[in-house]
């Protein structure tokens, strides 16, 4: 039986998350990735540079980031295994769990549900604004609830399923290299003129690394909800992302709810297709239902991680 590094990391993340005291004093490892990306972007992504040059510099930035995150994690893993041998697995779990987001995602989405249930729309808009990139000031109760559910579904992939997969496949360097690439995609992997060339490598790498986890994540949500398969298979490709639509469509089908649709970023409206074909009105009770499915889906991932530890 292999050491249960992944399963233990999941348990640690659920039990303690990333403690507020640690965050206040040291921040989070992802913050280091963000600073590297920001420094490279400000120095290299200048509009006067040719697009091809900015694309190459974006590739360089991504390689640097992977080298820092994956390379350092690989070195640490080698040292731990050299000094401790197989008994070093608890330490590897301790170093891996901050790259998971089960507890953080649950807490943030639950906060939206709680404020909506109290009838405090303004606070709910602020709470959901912490986990989505869209404009939230004009969202009504239904819009806030759907935004929270969409974020929960999409983040189930890149916050849990994908890092878990890469931890299982490549160990400590796998999970932290993935987290670095995913951070780069969220910061610079956009289609706007400023980012299109420089963030091209980050966006493509993130798409590739999420291909399998997104589809596994969608299937896990359907199993956890005892349904949603038809909507997932039919509507997953309606999403602009090749991956995010799988977990979002699975959740839409599971809740019998329409997600996505028209959206606003920085004051500009974007007409996105609906995912799902039922109602588009939602409230705090729908968020709670989504969180129940989310918990079941996370437990299924625990079972997968435990099986991997037993079989591999």
What is the domain count for the chain? 1
Average pLDDT over residues 195-199: 94
268 φ, ψ (degrees, to nearest 5): -105, 130
Identify any residues that bridge with 270 across adjacent strands, giving them in sequence order: 263
Q: Whole-number mean pLDDT of the chain? A: 91
% pLDDT > 70, the chain: 96
Q: Enumerate helices (H) and strands (E) in the chain, giving the number of each.
A: 15, 4
For the ranges 67-71, 95-99, 141-145, 220-224, the lowest mean pLDDT is seen at 141-145
Taking only the tens place, the pLDDT of each residue in 6-40 is: 999 999 999 998 877 777 777 788 999 999 999 99
| Cβ-based burial of 106 (10 A; exposed 0-12, middle 13-18, buried ≥19) | middle
User: Could you give the CA distance from residue 66 to residue 226 in angstroms, rounded to a whole number?
Assistant: 38
User: Could you give the CA distance from residue 208 to residue 185 in angstroms, rounded to a whole number?
Assistant: 12
Winning range, highest mean pLDDT, from 120-124, 132-136, 215-219: 215-219
What is the reported pLDDT for 11? 96
Cβ 287 vs Cβ 109: under 8 Å: yes
Q: In which domain, by residue range, is 254 found? A: 5-311
For residue 278, pLDDT over 90 is answered with no
What is the reported pLDDT for 26? 74
**Residues contacting 22, CB < 8 A, separation 6+:** none
What is the reported pLDDT for 269? 58
Higher pLDDT, 131 or 163: 163
What is the reported pLDDT for 2? 56
For residue 242, pLDDT over 60 is answered with yes
- Pairing of β 263-265 and β 268-270: antiparallel
For the ranges 172-186, 198-212, 232-246, the lowest mean pLDDT is seen at 232-246
How many CB atoms are located within 10 Å of the residue 239 CB?
22
What is the reported pLDDT for 268? 54
% pLDDT > 90, the chain: 76
Please give the structure tokens belonging to residue 173. Answer: 């360097």
Query: Can you give the pTM of this predicted structure?
Result: 0.94
What is the reported pLDDT for 1? 42
b/e 171-203 (16+ beta carbons within 10 angstroms → b):
bbbbbbbbbbbbbbbbbbbbeeeebbbbbbbbb
What is the reported pLDDT for 264? 56
């Amino acid at each position: 039986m292999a050491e249960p590094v992944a399963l233990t990391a999941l348990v640690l993340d659920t039990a303690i998350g990333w403690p507020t005291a640690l965050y206040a004093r040291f921040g989070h490892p992802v913050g280091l990735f963000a600073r590297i990306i920001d420094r490279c972007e400000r120095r290299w992504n200048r509009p006067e540079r040719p697009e091809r040059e900015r694309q190459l510099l974006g590739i360089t930035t991504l390689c640097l980031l992977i080298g820092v995150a994956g390379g350092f994690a690989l070195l640490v893993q080698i040292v731990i295994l050299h000094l401790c041998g197989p008994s070093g697995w608890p330490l590897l779990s301790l170093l891996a769990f901050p790259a998971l987001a089960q507890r953080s995602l649950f807490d943030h989405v639950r906060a939206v549900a709680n404020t909506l249930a109290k009838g405090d729309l303004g606070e709910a808009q602020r709470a959901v604004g912490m986990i989505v990139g869209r404009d939230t000031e004009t969202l009504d109760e239904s819009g806030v609830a759907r935004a929270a559910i969409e974020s929960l579904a999409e983040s189930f992939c890149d916050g849990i399923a994908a890092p878990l997969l890469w931890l299982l496949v490549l160990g400590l360097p796998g999970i932290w290299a993935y987290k670095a690439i995913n951070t780069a995609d969220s910061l610079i992997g956009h289609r706007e003129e400023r980012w299109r060339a420089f963030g091209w490598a980050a966006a493509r790498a993130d798409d590739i690394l999420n291909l399998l986890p997104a589809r596994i994540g969608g299937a896990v949500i359907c199993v956890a909800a005892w349904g949603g398969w038809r909507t997932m298979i039919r509507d997953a490709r309606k999403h602009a992302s090749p991956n995010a639509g799988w977990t979002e469509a699975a959740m839409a089908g599971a809740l019998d709810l329409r997600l996505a649709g028209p959206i606003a970023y920085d004051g500009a409206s974007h007409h996105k297709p609906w995912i799902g074909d039922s109602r588009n009105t939602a409230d705090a009770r729908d968020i709670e239902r989504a969180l129940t499915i989310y918990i079941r889906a996370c437990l299924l991932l625990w079972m997968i991680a435990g099986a991997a530890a037993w079989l591999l």
